[in-house]
Amino acid sequence: MSENQEQVLRNLRLTIEYDGTDFSGWQRQSATRTVAGTLEEKIRELLGEIVDIRGAGRTDAGVHAEGQVAHLALRSRIPVQGFLRGLNTILPPDVAVIDVAEVDPAFDARFSARGKVYQYRIWNHFVRSPKHARTSWHVRRPLDLDAMRTAARALCGEHDFRGFRASDCDRRNTVRVIRRFEISRQGAILDIEVEATAFLKNMVRILAGTLADVGRGRLDLDRVLRVLEGGDRTTGGVTAPAWGLTLVRVIY
């Protein structure tokens, strides 16, 4: 790329909301429908420009977002509000760009982030809910919220979370800081919200599954602490399904 071409590039930050049910995750893949791939395709349709969109995190297939953040380099001089309106006009119904801003060239959606907030939703009722089926995990058995909250408090702070990650997670550093881990309930809807500096692969789903197993009486606090201290994933709780998870916010 020539020096003149580099000078006209703009760095845009996008905030994106999506229902992940019918996407094979965030990351672009050649043969499947993904959020990043869909955005790149529609930007090319709108502006005739090929872009490489980079997200703050690679949400898995079925995971939703209210506040995913991404950045991209753009040559077009289209005003940001015109870009926002035009792109949303042609995007499919299950994804929308809710904000666009021109930012410093040094901004990187992933590496500039200082934390993330995720929510995991459980539909805790003996009868399933068609209304909430795409965005919550149906747990029929009553849950002990006090026991779950006690376990959540024990997991707060700086710990080595190697016992709460997917078996194929390749991160060498598995120490993370959970700043906030809260559980609320309204009727049959139980929301688990966790804020941390960063997360390991499937960490939030494993944390949610572990708390659900505590609430169902399958695990006790001592067992959870042994997993935390020993790092043995096989002795911990289940991995909650993807469709109950939402990326709420990225912190910068």
Task: Determine the Cα–Cα distance for residues 190 and 199; give it in Å rounded to an integer.
Answer: 21
Question: Is the model's pLDDT at 84 over the cut of 60?
Answer: yes
Mean pLDDT of the chain: 95
Q: What is the pLDDT of residue 5?
A: 47
Q: How confident is the model at residue 219 (pLDDT cuts 50, 70, 90)?
A: very high
Which listed residue (60, 94, 108, 222) is catalytic?
60
Same domain flag for 145 and 242: yes
Q: Cα dist. 138→127, 141, 142, 239 in Å?
A: 9, 9, 11, 14
Same domain flag for 85 and 139: no
Same domain flag for 93 and 178: no
Residue 124 CB neighbours (<10 A):
21
Same domain flag for 132 and 229: yes
Same domain flag for 132 and 232: yes
Same domain flag for 99 and 133: no
Domain count, the chain: 2
Domain-terminating residue out of 74, 103, 132: 103
What does the pLDDT look like over 11-26, one tens digit per residue? 999 999 999 999 999 9
Q: What is the pLDDT of residue 32?
A: 96
| 98 contacts: CB under 8 Å, gap ≥ 6 | 15, 16, 17
Q: Is-contact 61 29, C-beta < 8 A?
A: no
Cα–Cα–Cα angle for 26, 28, 33, rounded to 5 degrees: 75
What is the helix (H) or strand (E) element at residue 123, kind and residue range?
Answer: strand 115-123
Same domain flag for 130 and 224: yes
In a domain, 211, yes or no: yes
Task: Determine the Cα–Cα distance for residues 179 and 194; give it in Å rounded to an integer.
Answer: 8
Q: Which tokens in the block code for residue 233?
A: 């994933």
Residue 146 CB neighbours (<10 A):
10
Same domain flag for 123 and 91: no
Same domain flag for 167 and 227: yes
Reported pTM: 0.93
Same domain flag for 119 and 243: yes
Same domain flag for 54 and 124: no
Q: How confident is the model at residue 103 (pLDDT cuts 50, 70, 90)?
A: very high
Q: How confident is the model at residue 7 (pLDDT cuts 50, 70, 90)?
A: low
Strands 115-123 and 189-196: antiparallel
In a domain, 109, yes or no: no
Task: Determine the Cα–Cα distance for residues 116 and 217; give it in Å rounded to an integer.
Answer: 29
Q: Is 232 a catalytic residue?
A: no
In a domain, 110, yes or no: no
Which domain covers residue 216, as residue numbers? 115-251
Q: How confident is the model at residue 30 (pLDDT cuts 50, 70, 90)?
A: confident
Task: Determine the Cα–Cα distance for residues 197 and 181; give it in Å rounded to an integer.
Answer: 12
- Domain of 16, CATH number, reads 3.30.70.580
